[in-house]
Chain A
Amino acid sequence: MPEEVMSLGSPARQFNEELLIRRIRDGEHDLFYELIRPYERRVYSAALAILRNEADAEDAAQEAVLKALKHIRQFRAEARFSTWLIQIVVNEARMRKRKEHAHMIEPIVDHQDEEENYTPRDFADWREIPSETLERKEVRQRLAEALASLGEKYREVFVLRDMQHLSIEETAKTLGITTASVKTRLLRARLMLRDLLAPGLGGNWSSKLFFAKGTKPW
Chain B
Amino acid sequence: MVVNCEHVWREISNYLEGDIEPDLQAAMEEHFRGCKHCTAVLDGTRNVIQLYGDERMFEVPLGFSHRLHRRLEENMPGNRRSLLGWMVAAAAAVLVAGSFEVARSSVFSRSELRSEHAQPGTGVPPDMMVVVSGDGKTFHAAGCPFIHDKAHLQTIQAREALRQGYAPCVRCMKKYLTA
Contacts and interface: CB of A to CB of B under 8 A. Distances in A.
Contacts of B61: 44, 54, 58
Closest 6 interchain pairs by CB?
A: A167-B143, A38-B151, A194-B44, A41-B58, A187-B13, A2-B85
B57 A167 contact: no
Interface in A186-218: 186-187, 190-191, 193-194, 197-198, 201-202
Interface in B34-64: 36-37, 40-41, 43-45, 47-61, 64
Interface of A: 1-2, 5-6, 8-10, 12-13, 29-30, 32-34, 36-42, 44-45, 54, 58, 61-62, 65-66, 69-70, 80, 82, 117-120, 123-127, 129, 133-135, 140, 143, 147, 158, 161-163, 165-170, 183, 186-187, 190-191, 193-194, 197-198, 201-202
Contacts, number: 187
B166 to A, nearest CB: 15
Contact of B12 (A12, A30, A124, A191): A191
Contacts of A8: 89
A6 B86 CA distance: 9
A6 B51 contact: no
Given A123-B41, A162-B155, A198-B40, A134 B78 contact: no
B111 interface: no
Contacts of B51: 129, 133-134, 143, 197
A117 B10 contact: yes
